Structure 1
Amino acid sequence: MTTDATVGDPVVIDTIHDQLDANGLLPGEHLMDAGYISAELLLTAPSQRGVRVIGPVRPMTRRTVQATGYDKASFSIDWDARRATCPAGAHSRYWTDGLDNNQRSAIRIRFATETCAPCPSRGQGTDSTHYGRQLTVRPQDQDVVLERVRAEQTTEERKAVYAIRSGVEGTSHQAVTAAGTRRTRYAGLRKTALAHILTATAANLLRLDAWWPGQPLAPTRTSHLAALDLAA
């Protein structure tokens, strides 16, 4: 599917699934990279389309979590009472339903400043000197799915399943290096889309040319940084 460069990956998934379904090619499992994965997709694809979406969910990367250790899992969330409880036993004061920067449903939970300020564990909860700890979570049904997938993706079974996607990454890399697909040579989406079809055809021919004579697969490339580490 060819789009403007500014269109986000998750936006196109429904259209791609519609096109696959119209051609009788909708898969039972669809392996995607992290850019396409969203909580909504993980929740709706199996129930609405019968497609099991498999892809990495981004871990919690908040700077405070990395520095101190109190991540979202350290907090207990009471969805019915609409409040969170921190590891020290304090309750949140504010619970606000809204949208995140990508216009997706999100809930912002905030602890009062006077609650966090005197806490001996303050440094483990927030690095702000003016505000209490804040959490941003998805609605309950999406949050449950995200936490389940985060746990599953660390297992060897899930890693083995997702390893199949390395073939897709190899194909994408070949299209970039052999045909320069990172940039378009033409103006307009229609011409660019046609160029993408021709590029995909060329990639198939290149692979057939390597397959028929039994050319062995190329080894995984070692980056310059990794090569220096191996040399040391």
Structure 2
Amino acid sequence: MSLEPWSGGEVPELTRQVARAAFPKGSLAIRLRDSLGQAFDDVLFVEAFPSDGRPAASPGVLAMVSVMQCAERLSDRQAAEAVRAPIDWKYLLGLDLDDSGFVHSMLARFRARLVAHGLEERVLDSVLEAAAGQGLLRRGGRQRTDTTRVVADVRLLNRMEFVAETLRAALEALAAAAPDWLEQALAERETDWLGRYGQCVDSWHGLPDGQDRDSWLRQVGEDGFHLLSAAWRPGAPDWLHRIPALQTLRPAWVQQYHRNEGGVRVRECEDLPPGHQRLASPYDTDARYGIKKTTGWTGYCLHLTETCDDDAPRPITDIATTSAADGDDSQALPGIHTRLAGRELLPGEQLVDSGYVTAGTLVAARQEHGIDLVGPARRITGGDGRERFGHDDFQTDDARRQAVCPAGQTSISWANTRSSRRTRVPLVQIRFDAAACHDCPLRSRTTAGNSKWGRALTLREPAQRAALQQRRREQDTDAWRARYRPRGGIEATVSQIVHRTDARPSRTAPATHLGHCLAATAVNLIRIDTWQQGHRPDRTRTRTRTNHLCHLLARPSK
């Protein structure tokens, strides 16, 4: 399949006349064509197509159809039908009136090509470049970032359901691909294959009589290892290893079981891999289980960044898709800044919530990209919710490697260390005398520590520590609150991208990020069209009328 343009650059005259007559006031598709022209050139996607073979459908046309599909919340079949029927879509795509369009499966193949060649963000970049060319987007200014959860379109499985469904999916795939080989492999082990794995997990009604959880899990593990041993033994067809369900079964069993001379043992508690590595579903190998505050879900996190200047249509400038197990939003911030720098769209000021604000991000954003990160720093609290002493309540002397607590006690040790294996941030570990801390009247408000070593204090490097202390002081001022107030407007963008484009459920694991980029592009086109019609974004409502009235009534009388 070779890349050859499928449609011309100009709208056919007959299509133009009919579209103008049918839509005298215009439509979204007609206005986008008039303002942006042929928004997506075929050259943008040249890396995804070979140079020889039969002509391919125009990737520029397929890209625009994919974006409009998100804007109108259409399935692949409905989008392909829209290419054949509505006049304004033919005008947008530059097609003749008698053009029969394409088969709906082309959209899925086009998306697969973009994912395979790493071109997920190419469509979003093209629209941002067009908006910048029209003066609707510029470097500097003010932007805001927030995150929302994305639920994978899979069932939430407990551990017993997960191992059973993973093995059942592998058996189902082998039964379709190699039934004769599978029949021979199952006959080698006497077990109730049909009774245990013959039905989906959603019809599973608990353990058989006389079997407990541990013995049942061990039995499933032995069955899975038998199937894997048979597939990888000499003489088995080599192509069996490339079956996706069998490729999923292998790492799942490594994560869930131990196997040695003594037999199969189930991994428990700390012996299990961490959540960001452990599979959560056999049908979406990228989805992970995550918890944020009191909400748990299996899927991803979607990070949105948009402009929030008053004289611009507020397009989305960056989309980041991370695992739900990455509960720390601040880890996504360096990638966001790197992509914005590549697009030459770095803001001068970025409004974020407390999840993005750490000592490291405050300093790195300023030093590496010249961004003033505006967001509240979290307070120091204990497990009981009571406010504790913060780092700025301790007097630290980095030159003498000593610290003095609010009660006047001097530290007994000062050691350089690093954070967890994933981040490896340089830290300073400070400890106080256990005997002095035991009788201290301020013990309930000091930092936590065990009785052996007394109170403990963990600090960042001096520059990061100073930035965090300054933020905690200034965020209590009215001037800072007024500066931070526009951040709340991004909630409207989260609502629009979730409800208008249906971006929250993730139906295809490899194309999750691509789907988010297409949804963001659709929102950008809608906002650009709205702006060019003369409509301006509404002012962010920070307080309802009832809330304002109650606030006035609560004021003390003079």
Same fold (TM over 0.5): yes
Aligned residue type for 2:373 = V
Say which SS state the counterpart of residue 148 (structure 1) adopts. helix
Contact 2:488/2:542, CA 8 A, preserved across alignment: no
Alignment-derived partner of residue 195 in structure 1? 515
State which structure, 1 or 2, has the greater radius of gyration over its C-alpha atoms.
2
Deviations 1:49-92 (A, max 9, x none): 2222212211112347826x544333211221112112332111
Give the alignment's TM-score, normalised by structure 2: 0.35
Deviations 1:123-166 (A, max 9, x none): 44367782422212211111011000111112111111111112
Q: Please, which runs of 5 or more residues in structure 2 have no aligned partner? A: 1-319, 552-558
Higher relative contact order (CA 8 A, sep 6+): 2
Shift of 1:23: 2.1
2:411 aligned with 1:89: no
In 1, Cα distance between equivalents of 2:494 and 2:526: 13
Give the alignment's TM-score, normalised by structure 1: 0.78
In 1, Cα distance between equivalents of 2:447 and 2:332: 36
Of 454, 478, 484 in structure 2, the residue corresponding to residue 162 of structure 1 is 484
In 1, Cα distance between equivalents of 2:399 and 2:530: 59
Q: Percent identity?
A: 36
In 2, Cα distance between equivalents of 1:47 and 1:197: 29
Say which SS state the counterpart of residue 24 (structure 1) adopts. coil
Of 378, 382, 396 in structure 2, the residue corresponding to residue 77 of structure 1 is 396
Between 166-175 and 204-213, the greater mean CA deviation after superposition? 204-213
User: 5 Å matches for 1:28-177?
Assistant: 28-63=348-383, 66=386, 70-101=389-420, 102-125=423-446, 130-131=451-452, 132-177=454-499
Shift of 1:21: 1.9
Give the superposed CA RMSD. 3.2
Say which SS state the counterpart of residue 335 (structure 2) adopts. helix
Alignment-derived partner of residue 5 in structure 1? 324
Shift in alpha-carbon separation, 1:99–1:185, aligned structure 2, 3 A: same
Say which SS state the counterpart of residue 2 (structure 1) adopts. strand
Contact 1:64/1:125, CA 8 A, preserved across alignment: no
Shift of 1:38: 2.4
Aligned residue type for 1:94 = S
Contact 2:497/2:520, CA 8 A, preserved across alignment: yes
Deviations 1:24-59 (A, max 9, x none): 211111222222222122112222222222122111
Aligned residue type for 1:95 = W
In 2, Cα distance between equivalents of 1:216 and 1:49: 28
Alignment-derived partner of residue 16 in structure 1? 336
Contact 1:64/1:127, CA 8 A, preserved across alignment: no
Contact 2:389/2:445, CA 8 A, preserved across alignment: yes
In 2, Cα distance between equivalents of 1:207 and 1:62: 44
Aligned residue type for 2:480 = R
In 2, Cα distance between equivalents of 1:117 and 1:54: 39
Contact 2:349/2:374, CA 8 A, preserved across alignment: yes
Aligned residue type for 1:79 = D
Contact 1:45/1:51, CA 8 A, preserved across alignment: yes
In 2, Cα distance between equivalents of 1:208 and 1:166: 21
Aligned residue type for 1:197 = C
In 2, Cα distance between equivalents of 1:15 and 1:216: 28
Contact 1:46/1:53, CA 8 A, preserved across alignment: yes
In 1, Cα distance between equivalents of 2:455 and 2:395: 14
Aligned residues: 222
Shift of 1:205: 5.6
Shift in alpha-carbon separation, 1:74–1:193, aligned structure 2, 3 A: closer
Say which SS state the counterpart of residue 3 (structure 1) adopts. strand
In 1, Cα distance between equivalents of 2:337 and 2:461: 24
Shift of 1:213: 8.9
Deviations 1:102-139 (A, max 9, x none): 53222221111122224344444367782422212211
